[in-house]
Amino acid sequence: MSITDWPEDERPREKLLLRGAAVLSDAELLAIFLRTGVVGRSAVDLARDLLIRFGSLRGLLKASRQDFCAAHGLGDAKYAQLQAVMEIARRHLAEAMNERTALPNPAATRDFLRLKLRDLDHEVFCALFLDSQNQVIGFETLSIGTINAADVYPREVLKKALRAQAAAVIFAHNHPSGIAEPSLADRALTNRLRDALALIDVRVLDHFVVGEGQPVSFAERGWL
């Protein structure tokens, strides 16, 4: 049965307009992106097939161009559209973080860091610099490492904090393995950075470790 033959309140597009995007399943959201199905398969059927093929929505979003285009019903045009949508989302969150407004909530910070760091195949250590009102001054990559390590030097972090005239900082790094649980080395480095920055009256508000699922917060663990 074609989607146009479905009851109106069950069609993905109409459902989104009536009730909002958050109520849609992964397959329904993907069906809106696909717009059309293939012979014998509706857009929702095709979306479900793709989610099974790639294991999850994230698996599809992370797929290489070759793997993506090899799937039935996809191709270069859809790949380009999807990459554009993902980059729009990244830039939207980046703009929100760079508008010198106070951080709206921890969830917004998590969303920004997850989009920036989660899908990298190498470890990156970054910092959000904030002023005395917790307004974002800037975001900087402090170190780019291998698949399992990144070198971060406290003296360089202090220089960048002073240059930005920061009053506070939020650190973040990713675990390419997908396991977001902080290591003992992560905790030791954070303590070194916190103690060094305290000498110039810059507070470390948090350190997020990004992997699969929700980024882990040092502040929520009571480690700062």
What would the DSSP string read from start to end of 165-205? T-SEEEEEEE-TTS--PPPHHHHHHHHHHHHHHHTTT-EEE
pLDDT attached to residue 2: 62
Cα 147 versus chain centre, distance: 18
Amino acid at 45: D
Q: Which residues contact 65 (CB under 8 A, 6 or more apart)?
A: 76, 79
**pTM over the 0.85 mark:** no
Joined together, the tokens standing for residue 220 give 């929520």
Question: Tokens 């294991």 appear where?
Answer: 55
Q: What is the DSSP letter of 71?
A: S
Q: Which amino acid is at 9?
A: D
The confidence score (pLDDT) of residue 8 equals: 65
Please report the pLDDT score of residue 98 as a whole number.
Answer: 60
Average confidence (pLDDT) per 10 residues, the chain, 224 residues: 67 89 90 83 88 89 90 88 86 67 69 84 92 87 81 92 94 91 93 96 95 90 93
Quote the tokens at residue 151: 């070198």
d(CA 148, CA 124): 10
pLDDT of residue 109: 84
d(CA 110, CA 116): 10
pLDDT of residue 202: 96
Q: Considering only CA atoms, which of 35, 25, 138, 127 is closest in space to residue 85?
A: 35
